Amino acid sequence: MEETWASGAIELLKHADSHIKLETAFDSRIAFISIDNSVETSIRTFLSLPEKISKIKFRRNDVDEAGISFPKMVELLFSEARFKLAGLDEGDIEHYHRIRNQLYHNGTGLGVDRRYLTAYRQIAAVLLDNLFNIKAKSKESESTLENLILLFNELEKLTRDAFEKINASGQTYKFEMAIREGILDIEDIRQLGELKMIRNSQVHSTADNINKERIKLGIEIAERLIKKLTK
């Protein structure tokens, strides 16, 4: 999809990056709000695209009803285009949007933890990639929450593609089918479950409760499974 469709969201993310570099409490607030605006712009733009472009048929009445309500737009996107949202969960976006609202309405004197800032930045990048095939990744590549988010997204796409190859997508017994076809084994499936728990718990944790050891374990699991699925 042409980059012009996502130009507004991209510009907002670039604006956020320029403030992230400055590392003051004020700049962290502005960056976080800009990231949230980028996410909202991505979603609104995708919902408004012609069906021949998005490949999704959104009913105009549903789009109009969602209007400018962030929660309703997120709900509509995930209800109709979930297959394009590998690695993302509507609860993640709603969680960070609530933090944004706190910063926006009570912003004076408030800062935002850098781990939250970079994690939401990666969620915005994943959304752009999934919806518009636009790469907007940051340069972060260490064992951090944002790296876990990116790896989880990559693994979700790989497992989805693997299930499609064996006609298991949407099937109740898709994991059993994957075992039978030799794509995954029981330990892989156990680790997939653990990875999802790690990812979700850390994305929704408070800044004080982010567990670096659990994140490190999640990254190790994701990297191993990605390597296995890309052989």
DSSP states of 217-228 = HHHHHHHHHHHH
How far, rounded to the nearest angstrom, does the alpha carbon of residue 78 sit from its chain's CA centroid?
12
Is 42 within 8 Å of 131 (Cβ atoms)? yes
Residue 68: strand, helix, or coil: coil
pTM over 0.85: no
Q: Using CA atoms, how far apart are residues 185 and 64, in angstroms rounded to an integer?
A: 45
Is 195 within 8 Å of 188 (Cβ atoms)? no
The residue behind tokens 């976080």 is 32
What is the sign, positive or negative, of the torsion defined by CA atoms of 33, 34, 35, 37?
Answer: positive
Q: Using CA atoms, how far apart are residues 91 and 150, in angstroms rounded to an integer?
A: 17
Q: Print pLDDT tens along the chain (231 aa).
A: 456 788 999 999 999 999 988 878 889 889 999 999 999 999 999 999 999 889 899 998 999 988 889 999 999 999 999 888 988 888 889 989 988 888 877 765 567 878 788 889 989 999 999 999 888 766 554 558 888 988 998 999 999 889 888 887 767 788 899 999 999 999 999 999 999 999 988 888 766 677 889 999 999 999 999 999 987
Three-state helix/strand/coil letters over 1-59:
CCHHHHHHHHHHHHHHHHHHCCCCHHHHHHHHHHHHHHHHHHHHHHHHCCHHHHCCCCC
